[in-house]
Amino acid sequence: MDLASLIYLGVTFGLFVIFALIVIRTYSKKRKDTGEIAKFRMLDDD
């Protein structure tokens, strides 16, 4: 495997890790209420 392929693989893996962290953070129990509050606020009389 040459350097370019390794970098390519590394970037792909890095993106996957970032995505996994976003999913974990979004679905963490601590953030359950704050994660859903926007859908109620958008219905407020504006």
Interacting residues with other proteins between 1 and 46 (CB under 8 A): 15, 19, 22-23, 26-27, 32, 34-43, 45-46
The alpha carbon of 23 is separated from its chain's Cα centroid by a whole number of angstroms, namely 5
Task: Give the nearest distance from C-beta 3 to other proteins in angstroms.
Answer: 17
Pick between residue 2 and residue 46 the one whose CB is nearest to other proteins: 46
What residues contact residue 25 under an 8 Å CB cut-off, 6+ apart? 31
- C-alpha to C-alpha distance for 2 and 34, rounded to whole angstroms: 45
Residues lying near other proteins in the complex (CB under 8 A): 15, 19, 22-23, 26-27, 32, 34-43, 45-46
